[in-house]
Amino acid sequence: MQARTKSLKFQRSKIHSWGVIALQSIEPEDFVIEYIGELVRSKVADLRERRYEKMGIDSSYLFRVDAENVVDATKHGGLARFINHSCDARILPNCYTKILTVEGQKRIFIYSKKHIKVGEELTYDYKFPFEEQKIPCLCGAER
C-alpha cells in the first residue's frame, strides 16, 4: 500500500472532543488515511475495553475489522483515531472505510465519499450495532 496520506490535522470538534480536519481539498474516492493500531483478538479487545473504561478513557479507539479481530488505536494509533462518527448520509459522513487484506493481514483504509473542502471535518459511519444501552450521537443529523 503505497498511497499517500492526505494533509490533515486534529483540533477541537463540534461533534465530540477532538476531530480531524482536512488541510487540503480531497476529491471523491481518494485514499485519505489508514486507521493504524494494534491488531488484537476480540476477547483481548473486550478485556481492554473494560480496562480503558475503568481508567476513565471515555472515547473508544477500538475498530472491529471482522468477527475475530479488532484494531486497537488507544495506545498505539495514528491521527485517524480522532475521526468522529456521523450517520446522516444527506450531509455527512464525507468518508467511508474499506477493510483490505494486505500480505495476509486485514487493515483499515479511509476513503472520501465526496469532495472535501479545506477546513472540513472528516467523518465516517462507525456502523455500530444497535445496542440496549444507546449512546446519543452528536453529529447533528436530523435522523
Ligand X SMILES: C[S@@+](CC[C@H](N)C(=O)[O-])C[C@H]1O[C@@H](n2cnc3c(N)ncnc32)[C@H](O)[C@@H]1O
15 binding Zn ion? (CB under 5 A): no
The verdict on 40 binding ligand X (CB under 6 A) reads no
Find which of Zn ion, ligand X, none residue 93 binds, CB within 5 to 8 Å per kind.
none
* Cα separation, 66 vs 107, whole angstroms: 11
CA 143 from centroid of its chain's CA atoms? 21
In contact, 22 and 6? CB cutoff 8 Å = yes
Report the residue number, 86 or 112, with the smaller CB distance to ligand X.
86
Q: Is 16 among the residues that bind ligand X (CB under 6 A)?
A: yes
Radius of gyration of the chain (CA): 15
In the set 26, 70, 84, 116, which binds ligand X (CB under 6 A)? 84
E-only strand ranges, 13-55 = 18-22, 31-35, 38-41
Restricting to residues 41-100, which ones interact with Zn ion according to CB under 5 A? 87
On the CB side of 132, CA atoms within 13 Å amount to 0
Applying CB under 6 A, does 11 fall inside the site for ligand X? no
Point out which residues pair with 31 in neighbouring strands. Answer: 111
Candidates 5, 7, 17, 105; binder of ligand X (CB under 6 A) is 17
Site for ligand X, rule CB under 6 A: 13, 15-19, 58-61, 81-82, 84-86, 137-139
